[in-house]
Chains A and B, each alone.
Chain A
Amino acid sequence: MIKIELDNVAIGYYRRPVLRDLTFNVLPGDLVGLIGPNGSGKSTIIRALTRIITPLQGKIYLDGRELSTITRHELSQMLGVVPQLPLLPSAFTGFEIVLMGRNPHLGMFGNEKARDLEITWQAMEMTGTADLAKRIIGEMSGGQIQSLLIARALAQETRAILLDEPTANLDIGRQIEVLSLIKKLCRERNMAAMAAIHDLNLASQYCNRLVLISGGRIYKHGTPAEVITAENIRAVYGAEHCVYRHPLNGLPVVLVDGNVNSGIEGAKNG
């Protein structure tokens, strides 16, 4: 079991903080959604958790250990990452990309064994990407690449996983598949997962806790019902009158009415 903890963390680029006072945990079995307007720093938090950037202040703990004391190789065995549509070399096949998820488990000079290929294949089957195994990246759509990156993080066999907009390029069917899979893994394998998600409705339906980021701080932290309220959505996104209850499960849903002039001009999204 692994726990991600942020304790009063400030993060930024070139010593200028973008985010401060970040304190929250991701517990085993949790799927925590990071929500917030464009540019609010969701990806920055993920980059700090993967040690691409170092916090300017405060501490991040993974499995009770301070992040900076964990070597890069160890970290890659503990924490899988699904980046947001990165550039991938177009000559690689789908299988080769997913197989790279095994790198953390190979020695520096080791080569893949049959077991690694088998785990890779399973990850591709689970994410419905097995038919992409032989195709090259250059011929794939954004959504297909996105699914491959999720498969790669699964092949990494970590106990915690971070996803940066995992559903951004997927159609509604794939969005449901991907998030259900992640939720299932969290529950069954007791993984700790955190996903930056743009779509408030998906966040509300699949995450058990949400962290709403705005103005460089955590605006609200709690269950979907606590975070996605008409008040909060108006304050953070400037959108009026759009939060309702899901008719089947009562979770908050955000609906847009195109005929009403929403207060976008007056938006204060920090």
Chain B
Amino acid sequence: MKGQLPADDNRPAGTVVDRKTASPWSAHLVPWRSRITAIIVLTVVVLVVAAVATTIGSVSIPITDAIKVVLDRLPFIDFTPTWANGTGIIIADIRLPRVILAGLVGAALATAGATYQGLFRNPLADPYLIGVAQGASLGAVAGFVLPISASFLGVGIIPIFAFAGGLISMVIVYLLARQGKSLPVTTLILAGVALSALLSSVVSYLVISSGDKMHSILFWLMGSFSLSQWSDVRMVLPYIIVGTGIILLYARSLNVMQLDEEQAQQLGINVERMKIILLAAATLITAAAVSFVGTIGFVGIIIPHAVRLIWGADHRFLLPLSVLCGAIFMILADLISRTILAPTEIPVGVVTAIFGAPFFLYLLRRRKKVIF
């Protein structure tokens, strides 16, 4: 037994020693600086990608014009319009809301995926694992099929039905899985998978019996940003900010949760409360994300893993980096979906997998290390 401190006893008196470099534990300081640099750099990348994405499309617009148009819309800044007539509308009313919504949805799905994976200690978890997507799909399909064409606060019936469907299915799964005061994760996942299967067969039946609406339903199910408007952004934004904010606060506790629930409790984590709060927050942002744009797959499972491969599994960085990488990935996926076969749009859910999977497999092969 070496009981003594990592001391520097043999130093001549008066030697100045920098504790940080002298201590053997200094090698284990959390690499805050490099990770914070990554966060700052990626934030800039998000802005650049978003700016570039607004310039590309059926009409190509110089980036200087695009930036001027955006700045012009802000209070106190005025430019004499040097750009073509339609440019302002294309940038500010069509492409910008679309790009921003894509970024928000990508960020939300990646964050929710990282949260579920951390909470369930399961690398296969994604935001749709416990029934949110199927519930939202059923809600949306019901909105398509039912002969109602009402709207609420300027929002169509489909997003509202989808949002409600996602939340309701989550509540059902929660109530089914709850045992007394505790919420066993395995039961939760099994209940979610079972309910998903049930709902998805109802959705399938509704789709094949929907006649001429089948195409638009399928397009929604695979996900698309083609109808994005500013009102969508305004509806989705508060949920995603609040939900993501709550999740980020629990980042270090999620690290401890990786041990297992019993050990996390013995180390002072109120596991049951944390599970409920994080489930609610992750479900809220998932439901908000899919309600307007459909159940876009792949992002929620792959982005967190890609972040883990590159920057490690510490949730204090995994979560914010997933927010940023999810946003970048989705903006690019949407850009590809609307440009690659223009003027036809392919569903963005198809793009995320076709372009994302090879990239992820590349990362997986290149870094052969334990990530989970």
Residues of A whose CB lies within 8 Å of any CB of B are: 47, 50-52, 71-73, 75-77, 79-81, 83, 86-93, 95-97, 99-101, 103-104, 106, 108-112, 114, 117-118, 120-122, 125-126, 128, 130, 133-134, 136, 138, 156, 177, 180-181
A92: chain B residues at CB < 8 Å are: 258, 313
Output the least CB separation between B112 and chain A (Å).
20
10 smallest CB-CB distances across A and B, nearest first, come from A76-B268, A121-B25, A104-B268, A117-B25, A81-B266, A73-B268, A103-B267, A89-B258, A91-B370, A95-B28
Q: In the docked arrangement, what's the CA distance between A93 and B270, Å? A: 24
Contact A109 B268 (CB under 8 A): no
A99–B267 Cα distance when bound, in Å, is: 11
Q: Is the CB of A86 within 8 A of B259?
A: yes
Q: Which of A77, A86, A104, A117 lies in contact with B262, CB distance below 8 A?
A: A86
In the complex, whether B371 has a CB less than 8 A from a CB of chain A is yes
Contact A75-B372, Cβ < 8 Å, known A111-B30, A122-B5 = no
Partner of B2, one of A96, A101, A128: A128
Contact A72 B313 (CB under 8 A): no
User: Do A112 and B30 touch across chains, with their CB atoms under 8 A apart?
Assistant: yes
CA distance A230 to B24 in the complex (A): 50
User: In the bound complex, what is the Cα–Cα distance between A75 and B265 (angstroms)?
Assistant: 9
Complex-state Cα separation, A47 to B263, whole angstroms? 11
In the complex, A112→B29 CA distance in Å? 9
- With a cutoff of 8 Å between Cβ atoms, the chain A residues found around residue B260 in the complex are 86-87
Q: Are A51 and B265 in contact (CB under 8 A)?
A: yes
Q: B252 and A122: CB pair below 8 A?
A: no
A52 to B266, CA, bound (A): 8
Counting CB contacts under 8 A, is B4 at the interface?
yes
CA distance A125 to B354 in the complex (A): 50
What CA separation (Å) do A90 and B258 show in the bound complex? 10
Distance between B25 CB and nearest chain A CB, rounded to angstroms: 4
Complex Cα gap A76–B252 (Å): 16
> Per a CB cutoff under 8 Å, which of A72, A114, A181 touches B265?
A72
Set of chain A residues within 8 Å of B28, measured between Cβ atoms = 93, 95-96, 99, 117, 120-121, 133
Could you tell me how many residues of chain B have their Cβ less than 8 Å away from some Cβ of chain A?
39
Q: Which chain A residues lie closer than 8 Å to B369 at the CB level?
A: 91
B59 to chain A, nearest CB (A): 47
Assess whether B121 is interfacial by the CB under 8 Å rule: yes
Residue pair B29, A117 in contact (C-beta under 8 Å): yes
Cα distance, A118 to B7, chains bound together (Å): 11
| B3, A126: Cβ atoms closer than 8 Å | yes
* Cβ contacts B1-40/A at 8 Å (1 or 0 each): 1111110000000000001100111111110000000000
Residues of B within 8 A of A73 (CB): 268, 270
Pick the contact of A89: B20, B259, B316 (CB < 8 A). Answer: B259
A21 to B20 Cα, complex, angstroms:
53
Contact B269 A103 (CB under 8 A): yes
* Candidates B6, B121, B262, B263; contact of A121 at CB < 8 Å: B6
Residues in A neighbouring B370, C-beta threshold 8 A: 90-91, 136, 138
Chain B residues with Cβ below 8 Å from A93 are: 28
Contacts of B6 in A (CB 8 A): 118, 121-122, 125
Q: Which residues of B contact A (CB under 8 A)?
A: 1-6, 19-20, 23-30, 121, 249, 252-253, 255-256, 258-260, 262-263, 265-270, 313, 316, 369-372
A100 and B268 contact, CB distance less than 8 A = no
Docked Cα-Cα span, A189 to B26, in Å, equals: 27
A134 to B5, CA, bound (A): 19
Nearest-neighbor residue (CB-CB) of B371 within chain A: A91
The CA of A47 and the CA of B265, in the complex, are separated in Å by 11
In the assembled complex, which residues on chain B have CB atoms less than 8 Å from the CB atom of A97? 259
The one of B29, B253, B267, B372 that contacts A108, using a Cβ cutoff of 8 Å: B253
A269 to B276: give the CA distance in the assembly, Å.
42
Q: Are B270 and A72 in contact (CB under 8 A)?
A: yes
Q: Do B267 and A101 have beta carbons less than 8 Å apart? A: yes
Identity of the chain A residue whose Cβ is nearest the Cβ of B3 in the assembled complex: A126
A88/B29 in contact, CB under 8 A: no
Chain B residues lying within 8 Å of A77, measured Cβ to Cβ, are 268
Residue numbers in A under 8 Å from B249 (CB-CB): 108-109
Taking CB atoms, residues of chain A closer than 8 Å to B2 are 125-126, 128, 130
Contacting pair B267 A180 (CB below 8 A): no
Looking at B3, B253, B259, which has the most chain A CB atoms within 10 Å of its CB? Answer: B259
Q: How far is the CA of A121 from the CA of B370 in the complex (A)?
A: 24
Residues of chain A within 8 A of B255, CB atoms compared: 100
Output the least CB separation between A173 and chain B (Å): 11
- Residues of A within 8 Å of B4, CB to CB, are 125
A72's nearest neighbour on chain B, judged by CB, is B270
Instruction: State A125–B6 Cα separation when bound (angstroms).
Output: 8
Q: B23 to chain A: which residues have CB within 8 Å?
A: 117-118, 121
Cβ distance A28 to chain B, nearest Cβ, rounded Å: 21
B residues in contact with A177, CB < 8 Å: 1
